[in-house]
A and B are shown apart, each in its own frame.
Chain A
């Protein structure tokens, strides 16, 4: 309970403090400090949940169960490492004149606000608040994407705002329909939007309303997940925003949006007693994986390319959750974790590389191993990890997803394999010359933050061949929660 309170208070307080001091040099450290407090709170909370089971707080408006606690821990961890990464990164940006003190203040303050909205969306029990938090997350990040005020970044932010605004409006309509269905069972009032309450009566919810509601919710939150065909904002926002923001968008926001879809799917499955929701997820997931894989080939901008890779992986997770069942759900959750860790590590490495080369165009980035071997190896390892090379965790989860697909949807397996192969060829052929190859670039004035990259990669590696037993138990519980 206290840990939960700290979890909310820390980023919120951080927003206010950094709104006052974010422009000073000390702002960078304050940012790390608040992120550290959040992470500590999340760690304590996790231990509590593992020991004592699910937790309700503040008149049941907030709750922690095995499904969201692991995402809370992941969010706080990535929030912390990204804050660490952004210290030297943003200093260089300031030196390059891309960031002014005013923008730094905005950046730091909104960063904490974004983390707060993520944590709020994850821990709230109220589906209405979930919507509010998701919308607030859009609003917080939209100004972060446009922070450089370049034409391209403004365009990306505008697209992001409009597309996600429309998407999230569909989700609101879905929420309204959900409330309509719920209030027929639970009566009007705030209780009718509490997920735990709804979960208990889900079989009594009207199937007609619920199926329409789920379509809207999937379209709405799916926009934020980056599912094809409503993904257009994602590559632009990732490519044009500052790299730490690309890292948290890929590592956190997409996960949280998918989490929202999952919560709704549980209710819909209960009401419909059919594979309707699962089939929708499988369809959208498969479409996203295949489309994104082929788009990977056409990219020139390195951050854009990895953004498409995020679409591909989110599609894969959606596909896994759509298949359902204990193994697929387990694999989906594992993939969620590993993808967050590895993708943010890649963005950290890419950020340094792009900063050094002064461009994000891949053809102009060469010879990372010569100029900065650590970052070079980091990028190489991260790329191999995200492409599903053993022994990294992505391999384990992709393997599980593929084997489940073979049993349940044999026709989808060749498509998935093809997409993964195409993605491998596309990404590896681009990253290889970036890492190896010649360059005459000098080192950057501020040493890059290497620790976050390797912490993430090490965790991803660990999950590849050894998942601690409490983590396994935790995943299994969570998988059961979403209908495993």
Chain B
């Protein structure tokens, strides 16, 4: 069996898993499952990073994979679970668009992303050519998830999913950013999620709800 040929395919598999999870998150109605999906997405990033590390033999990528595992697959999901327990929010998520529409818009986004990344993927001589397009598609899908959700926590998860996709893009397309930068990004993400947590408590204290639609008073008039 051609083992070397299989490794890039494994990367493609993880990339596809990212894409499928992005769609699953887009169509998900329950917060708890959303967090599970997010965790799975984190694990896909870890898997992809490990594959790239193994193929290219870059040791700092193992470190980066460990960091991602710790942050994206363990720490942040744990924090999110804590958060929804403390805030007692397990309700169904309300979306601003109905889900089939979102799916259709999503597929248009995927086509756009693939088209944009197509010419570049041809140039990058990396082991996985198509992954950049998938990463871009995931970024756009997470972006859409953020703007179509009415509640605070799904928006945050959308934000984090976008970060995941970016991390994936960095690993798959460029074999990882320099370590200093990656550490900086990880730190920013961590601080960001902590601030968001604080924020959500403040919002709930003020509005008795985490519905973002309360946050539409500041309008132009």
**A contacts B directly in the complex (CB < 8 Å)?**
yes
B120 touches A177 (CB 8 A): yes
Contact (Cβ within 8 A) A151 B180: no
Residues in A lying within 8 Å of B, measured CB to CB: 126, 128-129, 131-132, 135-136, 139, 142-143, 146, 149-152, 154-159, 161-162, 165-166, 169-170, 172-173, 175-177, 179-180, 183-184, 188-190, 192-193, 206, 208-209, 212, 235-236, 239-240, 295, 298, 300
The interface residues of chain B lying within 8 Å CB-to-CB of A126 are 180-181
Partner of B120, one of A143, A150, A212: A212
By the criterion CB–CB under 8 Å, are B166 and A154 in contact?
A: no
B180 and A129 contact, CB distance less than 8 A: yes
Nearest 4 pairs of A and B residues by beta carbon: A128-B181, A132-B184, A190-B178, A155-B215
B174 A176 Cβ-Cβ under 8 A: yes
- A154 CA / B201 CA spacing, docked (Å): 11
Residues of chain B lying within 8 A (CB to CB) of residue A150:
206
- A155 near B174: Cβ-Cβ < 8 Å: no
- Whether the Cβ atoms of A209 and B120 lie closer than 8 Å is yes
Q: Name 8 A/B residue pairs within 8 A (Cβ), A-sorted.
A: A143-B195, A158-B203, A158-B212, A162-B155, A169-B139, A176-B166, A176-B173, A193-B177
With A143-B195, A169-B166 as known contacts, state yes or no: A212 contacts B116, CB within 8 Å: yes
**Which of chain A's residues have a CB closer than 8 A to the CB of B146?**
162, 166
B185 on interface, CB distance cutoff 8 Å: yes
Label chain A's interface by main secondary structure. Answer: helix
11 additional A-B residue pairs with CB within 8 Å, beyond A180-B173, A183-B175: A131-B184, A132-B181, A139-B188, A139-B192, A155-B214, A156-B218, A166-B146, A176-B166, A177-B120, A188-B174, A212-B116
Select which of B166, B181, B188 is within 8 A of A173 by beta carbon. Answer: B166
Q: Are A236 and B218 in contact (CB under 8 A)?
A: yes
Query: Which residues of chain B are near A193, meaning CB under 8 Å?
Result: 177-178, 181
Cβ-based interface call for B157 (8 A): no
Residues of the B chain whose Cβ atoms lie less than 8 Å from the Cβ of A158: 152, 199, 203, 212, 215
Contact yes or no, A128 B177, CB < 8 A: yes
CB-CB under 8 A from B58, the residues of chain A are 188
**Residue from B143, B196, B199, B220 in contact with A166 in the complex, judged by beta carbons closer than 8 Å:** B143
Given contacts A143-B195, A212-B116, contact A136 B188 (CB under 8 A): yes
Residues of B within 8 A of A206 (CB): 123
Residues on B with C-beta less than 8 A from A172 are 166, 185
Knowing A190-B178, A193-B181, A298-B220, say if A166 contacts B162 (CB, 8 Å).
yes
Given contacts A157-B199, A190-B180, A298-B220, contact A132 B185 (CB under 8 A): yes
Instruction: Knowing A128-B180, A155-B218, A166-B146, say if A180 contacts B124 (CB, 8 Å).
Output: yes
B159–A151 CB distance below 8 A: no
Given the known interface contacts A193-B178, A206-B123, the answer about A159 and B191 at a Cβ–Cβ threshold of 8 Å is no
Residue of A150, A179, A189 contacting most chain B CB atoms (<10 Å): A179
Task: Given A169-B162, A179-B174, check contact A154 B181 (CB 8 Å).
Answer: no
Asked if B170 CB lies within 8 Å of chain A CBs, one says yes
Given contacts A166-B143, A169-B163, A183-B174, contact A209 B169 (CB under 8 A): no
Contact between chains at A154 and B184 (CB < 8 Å): no
